[in-house]
Amino acid sequence: MPDQETSVRPFIRAGQPAEDRWVLVREEDAALPDSPAIVPLARWLEREAGSELAPWLSSDTELTPELADALVVAPLIAIDFPKFTDGRGYSLARLLRERYGYDGEVRAIGDVLVDQVFFLSRCGFDALSLREDQWLEDALRALNAFSRAYQPAVDEPEPLFRHRLREAVKRAEPALV
């Protein structure tokens, strides 16, 4: 894998195709580009004040309260999927959003496939850097593949059964009066 990945990958931010101004730097000791860079977590933690850097977390990162407190100032947090079958990144995104209240950009990087985009967005990812061989148009369609989800998630904290119950109560109220 190269030391740096420029954005030749299909990129989606907030459900729309977008230009990616960030360069992904994979190696700890690689030279930094002139543009904003996403660097390994250890390198980001040692950053100089005023540097335009963002961290990427490996899928095995232990998200402690201390680390979450440090990450709150990050302009974005990228979470790496070393292979599409590694689902630990979903948990990291949910923890960042729900437990630690991170409201900045959470980006999926690595082996990110079209098949994952709907579920990634449900877990709190709002930016997706797809694998090079994935089609942007397919990914955009996949984001809206389902109109409703049964389970609660970051994007919809209310489970479907509660929504349906509330609607049934609203419809029944005029008949009770």
pLDDT tens digits, 68-126: 999 999 999 999 999 999 999 999 999 999 999 999 999 999 999 999 999 999 999 99
**pLDDT recorded at residue 1:** 45
**β-sheet with 105-110: strand ranges across:** 4-5, 23-25, 37-40, 53-57, 76-81, 105-110, 127-129, 11-13, 16-17
**pLDDT recorded at residue 158:** 76
Residue ranges, comma separated, of all CATH 3.20.20 domains in the chain are 4-146
Percent of the chain with pLDDT over 90: 67
Joined together, the tokens standing for residue 38 give 């996403």
**pLDDT recorded at residue 53:** 95
Confidence of residue 67 (pLDDT cuts 50, 70, 90): very high
Q: Picking from 21-25, 31-35, 54-58, 101-105, which range would have the lowest pLDDT averaged per residue?
A: 31-35
Confidence of residue 177 (pLDDT cuts 50, 70, 90): low
Query: Is the confidence at residue 4, as pLDDT, over 70?
Result: no
The amino acid present at 141, given as its one-letter code, is R
The pTM of the full predicted model, rounded to 2 decimals, is 0.84
**pLDDT recorded at residue 176:** 67
Question: Between the CA of residue 127 and those of 22, 65, 67, 83, 174, what are the distances in Å?
Answer: 12, 24, 21, 18, 44
According to DSSP, the β-strands at 11-13 and 127-129 are: antiparallel
According to DSSP, the β-strands at 37-40 and 23-25 are: parallel
**pLDDT recorded at residue 43:** 94
Q: Among 3.30.365, 3.40.30, 3.20.20, 2.60.40, what is the CATH number of 4-146?
A: 3.20.20
